Amino acid sequence: MDGSDIEDLLDLLPLERTAFNIITKSGTTIETMGSFFVVRERLLAAFGEEGYRARVVATTDPAAGELRKLVDREGLVSLPVPPGVGGRFSVLTAVGLLPLAAAGVDIRALLRGAAAARENALSATDNAALDFARIHVALVEAGVTDLVFMPYAQVLSDTSLWFVQLWAESLGKQRPDGSRVGPTPIAAVGAVDQHSQLQLFMEGPANKVVCFVDAGPNSSLAVPAFGDACPPLAHLAGRTFDELRQAELRGVRAGLIEAGRGVSTITLPAVTAETMGALLFLLESATAMAGWMLGVEPFDQPGVEAGKLFAHGLLGKPSEAEWAERAQAFESGDRKTSGF
């Protein structure tokens, strides 16, 4: 939603050989549709209707919604968002698969990994998703409410951010009896956050458990011999960066255990399309199981919907005028927010 970023990107891209994929199930998402209409205007001006249609793929509901109406009216190529799949669980549908395929990822291997994780999640024994959910729900009930997701691989830094949405939006809910639950996810990445958040995890409040992802080897790059340039670090010469990363993960994990902090570890043999498919499905199924254990519906997001209605009202949507009035009353101080 940063206009300068959108302008910079569109100025940089060669429009004649750029494809645009618009992804929104409802077709009313402010951020997505606002950006799309900017792109649409530029493509129509530069290439006409035929050129515009040739450069746009829409991923949306197969039958309903405002974007579906526009797709049908303007003859755009489209892919379906399965009606029963919410946005945060949609990475293994066309929502995630088309961008991944365009980026060169082997999506068949990704889905093989996801299928294997699905089979495991349905098994009665050695069920990794059930173990993950059971352990972390037990910790929540014991007062360890914050889950730090900390892969040791820079390539998985965005996976941390994805997991934060998955866990928070699925499990931060009000139960039917009115009580509230909210296990808080925290995104981290090793070894970057060893030099920032780790101090809090190690010596701050004992309300956090750290879930490491041991990502396996990814490079043969090694520290070269450097003579006597730095004697205190002579033991690093010849060590691969994978070895350095492994030592740091093991060291941080040992330090947390010694400090009485909870840790868990997901181990991948390597970061591949297949192991990523398995990891994503594992975390999705574990999140769903955790929701049911905590007594909340993991697939809705009523708290998010209120913010959307307020925003639409403030932007002048007639049907949401009442929401705009309520927002303006809060801002003017005429009404106090509840819960404080």
Q: Could you give the residue numbers annotated as active site?
A: 169, 195, 308
Token pair recorded at residue 248: 């740091």
* Residue that is written with structure tokens 């001006």 in the block: 45
Distance CA(58)–CA(69), nearest Å, equals 11
Phi, psi of 55, rounded to the nearest 5 degrees:
-115, 10
CA 249 to chain centre: 22
* Residue that is written with structure tokens 């093989």 in the block: 112
Q: For residue 70, what are the CA distances in angstroms to 27, 166, 172, 308, 312?
A: 9, 29, 34, 21, 20
Distance CA(209)–CA(250), nearest Å, equals 16
**Alpha-helical runs (H) found in the chain:** 3-12, 30-54, 66-74, 94-102, 107-121, 128-141, 157-171, 198-203, 241-258, 273-294, 302-314, 321-332
Distance CA(217)–CA(178), nearest Å, equals 47
Q: What one-character-per-residue DSSP string does 225-260 give?
A: P-TTS-GGGGGGTT-BHHHHHHHHHHHHHHHHHHTT
Token pair recorded at residue 34: 């606002």
